[in-house]
Structure 1
Amino acid sequence: MAKYNYQWTKVLVGACTVCAVLALFLLGLARMWCQSESDEEPSFTVDSEEISGTQSVPVIQFELWKKKKFARLPKTFWQSHLTGDAFWNKHQAVIDYHFNPLLSHHDGNIELDSPFYESLLPQSFSEVSGFVGTMQLPEMLQDFVSSMHRRDYSTLIQPNGLCGAGATDEKEAPLLLLAIKSTDLNFENRQAIRETWGQAGWVSGQNSKRKGSGGYVRRIFLMASNGQPPSSELLAESTLYGDILQWDFKDTFFNLSLKDVLLWKWFSRYCSRTRFVFKGDDDVFVNTVKMITYLRDQLQRPQAEKRMKTFMVGYVIGGTSPIRDDSSKYFIPDNFYTGVYPAYPCGGGFLYSGVLAKRLYQVSKRVHLFPIDDAYIGMCMIRLNIFPIHHPAFLIYGFPGKDEEAQCSYHTMLMIHKRSPSEMPDLWAHLRKTEEECWDAPLRNVYIAQHL
């Protein structure tokens, strides 16, 4: 009997050993896959800080991993075990499956320009068949869902220059592309931008006597068509200024994320030499001189070229949940999406590098469009395992308290939201008038700005 038990013990030990080896092997594969997806960059976490005791402003607290490389990807906010039967989550899970080497039939190293990508988005709709018909969604969201998988929209109006309106005699690559979201009816906004902070061509930096303090600026307005041919007024405007880029899709709030994707695609083709992109709304005011100086300073920092792979800065919000109030234009019902939003820059206006723009275009091929464009930026960023950086000089909600009353207040910011076309000329004239007096005014919260 003892001999019989001993033999069975040997069998069980052998079987357990095989299982343990197999488990370690699979774990090793998973770690290798995750490491191939990771960037050798700092890890950032989102927190909030009380400013002036009245406003909770999100900031990024950052800390380096102890090792130069790290294998862990942040947990995806749309993992199936967290999301239930939400429409967007289920469809994204189909895409994610194809990039899991332990579940799918390939090793996860598919080239991003492979035809395989072109079929994935519509494929997810066929694999989650019948789900849409049983789901109750608001009309605008239903309209979004009907074309959520499409990216193949034709271009109705192209800008005159290869990379937007700018100087014809550029002696170096453009430093900055101003990419402004607009609509057909907002001519006054576009004209105010053209005549003030959005002037294309050479822009001197804050210290114009310092070599390399300025840069060439290009300008473009991003528009859609609402299913109609371009109006005669818009065609005349395009002929005169050469800064309109219009696509053939509906110009709705939920399609703003589509503008981002098509901008990245267009930028990758026509603007590959441009160093930075400022993407903003047509109701923002930008201190272009200060922005040019700030960007030049970024290029002078140690390991600047490496940092450009991940550079995105703006007013960052992190860890927020979708708005469930159906009276809000940001309303997202829980049967469409569950989970939290990753850290994202507020869409009023933010900066990112040209290198990152091309990376965002590639990764967007594996992330379904989302009806809130700010959140979609965060989704694509986290898929690259990077986070946008908060900078207090991006004033999405205006100056706090009485800060705006200071003589040099507009010299301490990079961008401010919600300024009308009638206000922009006065603000621009004020910047020019006080330029000498405020030449050394630092950006808001200079300590944070210097340590990003």
Structure 2
Amino acid sequence: MITCYRRCVAEAVLFGLILAAILIPLLICFPDRGLWDVEERGVKKLQFLRVSRDPRRYVRPEEQTALLSPPPCAPRPRGHSAPPSPPPPPLPPPPRLLMLVTSAPAHHERRQAIRETWGGRSENARLVFVLGRGREPATQPPAEVLEESRRHGDLLVEDFTDAYHNLTLKTLFLLKWAVRECPSAAFVLKTDDDMLINTRGLVRALPRWVAQARGGGANGRLGGLGNAAAGDPLAPEAPPPLIFGYVYHRSPPFRDVRSKS
């Protein structure tokens, strides 16, 4: 029995040596055809991530690039083009909370659900959906999106392919619209169309969170931001802008292949 076991081990070792003697010269002489090329090809496919691109080439912050745009939150400052004729209807008062929701052209039901629930039940708030023109090259958005914009007037459609890899562009475009067309908003919320948000609770909690972040404590005063919340974000005494987020500390990743997390 021992002799048979030793013989099997010796044969396995000999077979491994012969296989290595055959494969190693092939990998050295033909790296572009060997196993080492698998990782190299994978790295080459991700080379575009290492290239820094100037976002101004795509977003063009000084130009009007939107294919569809909702009414601005306040009259445009001097330097912008004159409004089209006939003049638009009177503008509503500046919102305290501007809700910018990233969406996609085909997500009609999601947008309508948000309008009928958390997106349309908060006072002194403004809801805008941000999306691209679609996956197919076109000079204008799909007909369904045009009709939806006509009925609701809350769609911002920019001229780029609406795809997952363009989420950075979508975020830059929504910030561009917020700065150009709604600078009077005290707070800006950026979220997705598959989220459920307690906007009323958020509006009530924002002053307390800001006071804590500014070092004023739970009952601290907002100072200059109080004027911003009242509709004067450009007041000289207003503090610098503040960004809120949520950190998932020590949160395990989802291993499900269907998840993006």
Is residue 73–residue 91 contact of structure 2 (8 Å, CA) maintained in 1?
A: no
Quote the Cα distance in structure 1 between the aligned partners of 2:101 and 2:113: 12
Is residue 179–residue 277 contact of structure 1 (8 Å, CA) maintained in 2?
A: yes
TM-score, structure 1 as length reference:
0.34
Does residue 305 (structure 1) correspond to residue 212 (structure 2)? The answer is: no
Match of 1:259 in 2: 170
> Which of 58, 65, 68 pairs up with 1:151?
58
Match of 1:270 in 2: 181
> Which of 104, 108, 122 pairs up with 1:183?
104
Q: Which amino acid aligns with 1:163?
A: C
> Which of 155, 159, 163 pairs up with 2:73?
163
Match of 1:118 in 2: none
Is residue 177–residue 218 contact of structure 1 (8 Å, CA) maintained in 2?
A: yes
Q: CA deviation at 1:252?
A: 1.6
Q: CA deviation at 1:314?
A: 2.8
Per-residue deviation, residues 52-102 of structure 1 (Å, max 9, x unmatched): xxxxxxxxxxxxxxxxxxxxxxxxxxxxxxxxxxxxxxxxxxxxxxxxxxx
Q: CA deviation at 1:178?
A: 0.7
SS in 2 for 1:259: helix
**Structure-to-structure mapping, 1:131-142, within 5 angstroms:** 136-138=44-46, 142=48
Q: Which amino acid aligns with 2:102?
A: K
Task: Please list every run of at least 4 consecutive aligned residues from structure 1 whose deviation after the TM superposition is greater than 6 angstroms.
Answer: 327-330
Q: Which amino acid aligns with 2:166?
A: N
Does residue 217 (structure 1) correspond to residue 128 (structure 2)? The answer is: no
Match of 1:240 in 2: 151
Query: Please, which runs of 5 or more residues in structure 2 have no aligned partner?
Result: 1-42, 75-88, 212-218, 226-237
Change beyond 3 A, Cα 1:191–1:328: closer
Quote the Cα distance in structure 2 between the aligned partners of 1:293 and 1:190: 24
Change beyond 3 A, Cα 1:148–1:169: closer
Q: CA deviation at 1:155?
A: 1.4
Q: CA deviation at 1:254?
A: 1.9
Quote the Cα distance in structure 2 between the aligned partners of 1:143 and 1:230: 28
Q: CA deviation at 1:283?
A: 0.7
Quote the Cα distance in structure 1 between the aligned partners of 2:240 and 2:196: 27
Does residue 193 (structure 1) correspond to residue 114 (structure 2)? The answer is: yes
Is residue 114–residue 120 contact of structure 2 (8 Å, CA) maintained in 1?
A: yes
Quote the Cα distance in structure 2 between the aligned partners of 1:169 and 1:261: 25
> Which of 300, 305, 315 pairs up with 2:246?
315
Per-residue deviation, residues 376-410 of structure 1 (Å, max 9, x unmatched): xxxxxxxxxxxxxxxxxxxxxxxxxxxxxxxxxxx
Q: CA deviation at 1:253?
A: 1.5
Structure number with larger C-alpha Rg: 2
SS in 1 for 2:244: strand
Quote the Cα distance in structure 2 between the aligned partners of 1:261 and 1:158: 15
Q: Which amino acid aligns with 1:305?
A: G
Is residue 151–residue 262 contact of structure 1 (8 Å, CA) maintained in 2?
A: no
Is residue 180–residue 222 contact of structure 1 (8 Å, CA) maintained in 2?
A: yes
> Which of 79, 95, 98 pairs up with 1:174?
95
SS in 1 for 2:98: strand
TM-score, structure 2 as length reference:
0.56
Quote the Cα distance in structure 2 between the aligned partners of 1:169 and 1:136: 51
Quote the Cα distance in structure 1 between the aligned partners of 2:175 and 2:91: 25
Per-residue deviation, residues 83-129 of structure 1 (Å, max 9, x unmatched): xxxxxxxxxxxxxxxxxxxxxxxxxxxxxxxxxxxxxxxxxxxxxxx
Quote the Cα distance in structure 2 between the aligned partners of 1:144 and 1:282: 30
SS in 2 for 1:136: helix
Q: CA deviation at 1:151?
A: 2.3
Per-residue deviation, residues 203-249 of structure 1 (Å, max 9, x unmatched): 1xxxxxxxxxxxx1111001012332211110000011001001111
SS in 2 for 1:249: strand
Change beyond 3 A, Cα 1:296–1:168: farther
Q: Which amino acid aligns with 2:58?
A: R
Quote the Cα distance in structure 1 between the aligned partners of 2:141 and 2:52: 24
Match of 1:3 in 2: none
Is residue 207–residue 222 contact of structure 2 (8 Å, CA) maintained in 1?
A: no
Quote the Cα distance in structure 2 between the aligned partners of 1:146 and 1:251: 21
Quote the Cα distance in structure 2 between the aligned partners of 1:268 and 1:301: 28
C-alpha RMSD over aligned residues:
3.8
Q: How many residues align?
A: 176
Match of 2:161 in 1: 250
Q: CA deviation at 1:191?
A: 0.1
**Structure-to-structure mapping, 1:38-77, within 5 angstroms:** none
Is residue 224–residue 247 contact of structure 1 (8 Å, CA) maintained in 2?
A: yes
**Greater Cα shift, 146-155 or 258-267:** 146-155
Change beyond 3 A, Cα 1:233–1:245: same
SS in 2 for 1:267: helix
Query: Please, which runs of 5 or more residues in structure 1 have no aligned partner?
Result: 1-134, 204-215, 331-345, 347-452
